[in-house]
A and B are shown apart, each in its own frame.
Chain A
Amino acid sequence: GENVEQHPSTLSVQEGDSAVIKCTYSDSASNYFPWYKQELGKRPQLIIDIRSNVGEKKDQRIAVTLNKTAKHFSLHITETQPEDSAVYFCAASKKTGANNLFFGTGTRLTVIP
């Protein structure tokens, strides 16, 4: 099956700085890569996703890049704010008829005011 690795496991940044989280995947057939944010004690929520026919996608302060050749993708958060503090999960899936996501182990981001 798919194996998704995520780094770093923890990340602390000063408010206003940028944060970058990186993931690699093993299955070259994977073609959908979402990112989920999970605040403490809450449910994971989708924040951005990218498909394999796109190299980069941006939504306000959040961007995701994908390198299919190297099988890695990254989440970039600019101008970080305290409310960005959460655990972020990357995931990967391929065309199987259902959205069977394989998740990374998560990155705990702390934004220091």
Chain B
Amino acid sequence: NAGVTQTPKFRILKIGQSMTLQCAQDMNHNYMYWYRQDPGMGLKLIYYSVGAGITDKGEVPNGYNVSRSTTEDFPLRLELAAPSQTSVYFCASSHEGEDSPLHFGNGTRLTVT
């Protein structure tokens, strides 16, 4: 049981490039989330999904897109990278229920220069 797996761990992008951050979970969780964590700040919700085929925006969705074709996978797409997207990105998953604990991946550290 690997939990939540994120790839890559680190990435450097040039302004305007695109990339996909991968996230997979093997706990059969229906709910999945993408957060970003900026230095000295808490985690901000980018997008979330309550099941395959269903996604919704969080607090800071601009500049990102997501898809959820399977229960296991929840990739995050950056189309035109900007320096403001330099951050650490965490994927998380949980069971149904507004008070089910989030299980986080190890994060992806992204730098846009």
Interface residues of A (CB under 8 A from B): 1, 4, 6, 9, 31-32, 34, 42-46, 49, 51, 89, 91, 93-106
Contact = CB atoms under 8 A, between A and B. Distances in A.
Given A44-B43, A44-B104, A100-B48, 10 more contacts: A43-B105, A45-B104, A89-B43, A97-B98, A98-B50, A99-B31, A100-B98, A101-B45, A101-B102, A106-B42
A21 to B, nearest CB: 13
Interface residues of B, number: 25
Contacts of B105: 43
Contacts of B86: none
A19 to B, nearest CB: 19
Given A1-B59, A98-B31, A93 B98 contact: yes
B75 interface: no
Main secondary structure of the interface of A (DSSP, over half): loop
Contacts of B42: 4, 6, 89, 91, 103-106
24 contacts: A4-B42, A6-B42, A34-B99, A34-B102, A43-B104, A44-B43, A44-B90, A51-B99, A94-B98, A97-B98, A98-B31, A98-B56, A98-B98, A99-B97, A99-B98, A99-B100, A100-B58, A101-B102, A103-B42, A103-B44, A104-B42, A105-B40, A105-B41, A106-B42
Contacts, number: 71
A14 B40 CA distance: 23
The 4 closest A-B pairs by CB, nearest first: A103-B42, A43-B104, A32-B99, A46-B101
A103 B98 contact: no
B39 to A, nearest CB: 10
Residue with the highest number of chain A CB atoms closer than 10 Å, among B43, B58, B97, B105: B43
Interface string B43-80: 11100101000001011000000000000000000000
